[in-house]
Structure 1
Amino acid sequence: MTVRSIALVTLIVHDYDEAIAFFTRALRFSLVEDTQLTPAKRWVVVAPPGGTGAALLLAKAAEPAQAARVGDQTGGRVALFLETDDFWDDYRHMHA
């Protein structure tokens, strides 16, 4: 077997709908999938518009230890680097 790419990167969030709103409105990501798995768990995937690389799986924190890591999932290191073709346009959109 040869691994060819990374398909999904999990990001722990406090609330599915709040995270979907942030990624789709502020970052203009596409909502790829939002499937209810159990009453408390959903499979939520967002991806950059037109992206052909990895997408983000938004996973709701299910226990206190996970909730404590939201916003600090990499121990203070940068988790993701986003690439843009027009920084100032994206910056203005995020701050609108």
Structure 2
Amino acid sequence: MHLESAAIVVDDYDTAIAFFVGALGFELAEDSPALTTEGGRPKRWVVVRPPGARTGILLARADGERQAAAVGDQVGGRVAFFLRVDDFDAAHARMTAAGVEFTGPVRTEPYGRVAVFLDVAGNRWDLLGPA
């Protein structure tokens, strides 16, 4: 048993793909047409994931006002996504150069080095590395 994927609601598929693949270095695992939404609009099945990972993130384009209101606030402003890297300094520098917005300075916690960043939708993530 393993966790296949988790969804993040986004405004636009292609903008989200560009962020996760270009800025974070994820792989585009799948981008396929899917059945239309309840409103009849076309949608896609878009999955990104860190290189070598089994668990992916389904990028789900917001459909309707309720979903659009959740973009960037899927977990009430808390950090809910955690990206662990082996080389924290290299990942932080690469992400900063790619324009990823960090919300504060790097800090050291008992579980490792951490810096909070925002994804393309405005959700908060922890970039985590070894202590």
- The answer to whether TM tops 0.5 is yes
Shift of 1:64: 1.0
1:23 to 20, 24, 37: 20
Tell me the amino acid that sits aligned with residue 10 of structure 1.
Answer: A
- Relative to the length of structure 1, the TM-score reads 0.89
- Relative to the length of structure 2, the TM-score reads 0.67
Shift of 1:79: 1.6
Structure showing greater radius of gyration is: 2
Instruction: State the identity as a percent.
Output: 52
Higher helix residue share: 1
Higher RCO (CA < 8 A, seq sep 6+):
1
Unmatched segments (≥5 aa) in structure 2: 98-131
2-structure distance, mates of 1:10, 1:16:
12
Unmatched segments (≥5 aa) in structure 1: none
Higher strand residue share: 2
- SS of the equivalent of 1:92 reads helix
Tell me the amino acid that sits aligned with residue 5 of structure 2.
Answer: L
2-structure distance, mates of 1:91, 1:26:
11
1-structure distance, mates of 2:80, 2:9:
12
1-structure distance, mates of 2:31, 2:24:
18
Q: CA RMSD in A?
A: 1.1
| Alignment map for 1:1-96 (pairs within 5 Å) | 4-37=1-34, 38=36, 40-52=42-54, 54-96=55-97
2-structure distance, mates of 1:79, 1:11:
11
Tell me which stretches of 4 or more aligned residues in structure 1 moved more than 4 Å.
none
